[in-house]
Structure 1
């Protein structure tokens, strides 16, 4: 069976920062790479004053489509929920916001995608959602639930991985021109220790793609954003290595930590991998 990878995230740009290199790596090997996005990120804000935006949801959808093309992934699949916002902008009364949606309905929509794309491996947020965004936590919960219930269905996902940040990475992102969403958060809660890392991928060969995909999200990486103004010292580690913890497995893990998310699985890659 052809290798198939499914990534499940909440907003446009979530897919690139922590696993864009992984998506590009497997797409380059001929795997089918599919992204599910719960929302269109309409509760965010445009951080590029030079960008004329009439509808932020449409703008961010187009940016995600562009990023997916850069990474070699299929066109994104939107589950059509609304961005919940966070903090003072939390949309408590929007019935279509992910925080208010029926979680079993959301899981059913994701399971329908799983039946369609037949992934062996699925990626999503860690249990803390990187920085606790309510939509990130929903994405984590629905993907984990779908992994569990897929065991009773025709398409059984073999492995679930969570995108994680090491303590050193988080501290670097909190220094200098700090990534604002991490302000005041403890690395001992929102990062992971080395023994938790179940997979570590070298993505340096795709650093250019990952950088281009990140900045394809122009409304999120403008001069008024902290994401778009990270220093090279902060950005470089994110362009070289991507790390994961293990959310679940239906078989033996051949090594720990893995250097290939598909290691030991009976799948075909139509294109050769990187030279050893």
Structure 2
């Protein structure tokens, strides 16, 4: 798997006060690299843009913030990676960016555009998926403490109905690996975060399956939801890219 990152999350918040004063960009890059080792995937590729922030921290005047950057320049950078990696499948954020983060919305638009243009570099990506939560999954997470980014979100807007789920992948055998990868992001899983306050009942669906909607396909899909993102593809090799 090739993980492409627009930013290093430098405009975010540190949810673990025990870390003290830190360089957030440097710390979050290290956390992501550690998470990749837990998932046994290649180190992340950073495109060098800046975190746009959100709400009162929105960086409208930073020319390198993703909300201000040239979208065609972004596409060209990712298309270079696509030409080199030759992925069959691309994953990205859903149309509402999980919880509306501006950078997630940019990443969604970017991945959708790259999927549409991938044939121009000789690698027509077979499928584009968006990571999603169902209404019931989001509501379960919202029953906890310290909701953080989930506070006030309306599931009818930010989650999806069951009929929208195109793929539901069983990850039970990789569940604990996923938990370790998530906790590697200490600045985002501290005592002031949503993830840092989940009960085991809330963790269970996160560690047993993952759900995806379909952003686009160039191949037939025999059944919905399907249990494997690569089901029915002509070449079984495991190559994908996430933006």
Q: What is the deviation of 1:47?
A: 1.7
> Which region of structure 1 is more displaced relative to structure 2, 47-56 or 244-253?
47-56
The residue correspondences of 1:235-254 to structure 2 (distance < 5 A) are 235-254=203-222
2:142 corresponding residue in structure 1: 174
Match of 2:176 in 1: 208
1:111 corresponds to which of 65, 69, 79: 79
Counterpart Cα distance in 1 of 2:107 and 2:94: 9
| Contact 1:35–1:76 (8 Å) recurs in 2 | yes
Contact 1:177 1:231 in 2 (8 A): no
Query: Residues 49-81 of structure 1, C-alpha deviation per residue, up to 9 Å, x if partnerless?
Result: 222453110110010000001001101000110
Contact 2:141 2:202 in 1 (8 A): yes
SS of 1:228's equivalent in the other structure is helix
1:232 and 2:188 aligned:
no
Q: Where does the alignment leave 5 or more consecutive residues of structure 1 unmatched?
A: 1-32, 271-276
- Contact 2:36–2:181 (CA under 8 A) maintained in structure 1: yes
CA spacing shift, 1:203–1:99, aligned 2, 3 Å: same
Choose 172-181 or 259-268, whichever is displaced more: 172-181
Q: Give the distance between the partners of 1:107 and 1:37, measured in 2 at CA.
A: 13
The question of 1:73 aligning with 2:41 is answered: yes
Contact 1:199 1:245 in 2 (8 A): yes
Q: Is the contact made by 1:178 and 1:230 (CA closer than 8 Å) also made in structure 2?
A: no
SS at match of 1:209: helix
Deviations 1:92-112 (A, max 9, x none): 100000000001101111111
Matched residue, 1:146: 114
Equivalent pair of 2:47/2:77 in contact (CA under 8 Å): yes
Select 2:8's aligned residue among 24, 29, 40: 40
List 4+ stretches of structure 1 deviating above 4 A: none
CA distance in 1, matches of 2:150, 2:203: 15
Matched residue, 1:193: 161
* Alpha-carbon separation, structure 1, partners of 2:161 and 2:214: 13
Structure 2 equivalent of residue 261 of structure 1: 229
SS in 1 for 2:18: coil
- Kept in 2, the 8 Å contact 1:53–1:59? The answer is no
Partners of 1:236 and 1:142 lie apart in 2 by 31
User: Which TM-score applies when normalising by structure 2?
Assistant: 0.94
Deviation of the 1:232 alpha carbon: 1.6
C-alpha RMSD of matched pairs (Å)? 1.3
Give TM-score scaled by structure 1 length.
0.83
Distance (whole Å) between structure 2 residues aligned to residue 68 and residue 78 of structure 1: 13
Distance 1:211 1:258 in 2: 24
